């Protein structure tokens, strides 16, 4: 009996982890987002390339606005958005695969993604790649700057 009970407990525990990964974004994300003004990053897509303005800090609320000024649809995906609750606003399509999140944005449209990534204990500046899942040669980088430094573009 004990063995069965333990098996059930660990099954429930792993289910709870799975739920945290998928359901909490919409439940906790928005209320967290209201608690503080996010660091803002802007990404403009034009001529099949990304142009980034701004940076954020590890462990702090961040919002990335992605504007597609190109003539074709593009995507945005990054490890920055994996494993954390992400709130999307605007006109985009959210795609979810095996541990991957991608957002597709049509020409002339924009989306804003709000999330918190990393920890305030992460003291090193992090370069975080992102790319277009539809055009593998389209790549860019974002920066999470250490807390003691200055965040540009703010």
Number of alpha carbons in the 13 Å side-chain half-sphere of residue 126: 18
Q: What's the CA gap between 126 and 7, in Å, rounded?
A: 40
The yes or no reply on residue 105 touching Cu ion (CB under 5 A) is no
The yes or no reply on residue 109 touching Cu ion (CB under 5 A) is no
The yes or no reply on residue 74 touching Cu ion (CB under 5 A) is yes
Cβ contacts of residue 6 below 8 Å, gap of 6+?
A: none
Rounded to the nearest whole angstrom, what is the least distance from the CB of residue 136 to Cu ion in the complex?
9
User: Between 83 and 91, whose beta carbon lies closer to Cu ion?
Assistant: 91
The yes or no reply on residue 132 touching Cu ion (CB under 5 A) is yes
DSSP state at residue 37: P
Which residue of 90, 106, 135, 140 would you call a contact of Cu ion, by CB under 5 A? Answer: 135
The yes or no reply on residue 81 touching Cu ion (CB under 5 A) is no
The yes or no reply on residue 67 touching Cu ion (CB under 5 A) is no
Over the range 79-92, which residues count as b (16 or more CB within 10 Å of their CB) and which as e?
ebbeebbbbbeeeb
The yes or no reply on residue 57 touching Cu ion (CB under 5 A) is no
Where do contacts with Cu ion occur on this chain (CB under 5 A)? 74, 132, 134-135, 138
């Amino acid at each position: 009996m004990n063995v069965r009970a333990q098996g059930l407990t660990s099954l429930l525990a792993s289910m709870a982890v799975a739920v945290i990964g998928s359901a909490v974004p919409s439940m906790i994300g928005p209320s967290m987002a209201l608690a503080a003004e996010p660091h803002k990053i802007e990404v403009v897509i034009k001529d099949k390339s990304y142009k980034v303005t701004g940076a954020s800090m590890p462990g702090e609320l961040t919002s990335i606005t992605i504007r597609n000024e190109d003539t074709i649809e593009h995507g945005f995906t990054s490890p920055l958005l994996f494993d954390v609750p992400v709130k999307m606003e605007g006109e985009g399509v959210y795609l979810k695969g095996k541990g991957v999140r991608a957002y597709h944005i049509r020409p002339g449209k924009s989306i804003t993604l709000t999330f918190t990534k990393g920890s305030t204990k992460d003291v090193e500046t992090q370069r975080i790649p992102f790319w277009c899942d539809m055009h593998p040669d389209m790549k860019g980088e974002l920066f999470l700057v250490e807390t003691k430094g200055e965040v540009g573009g703010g």
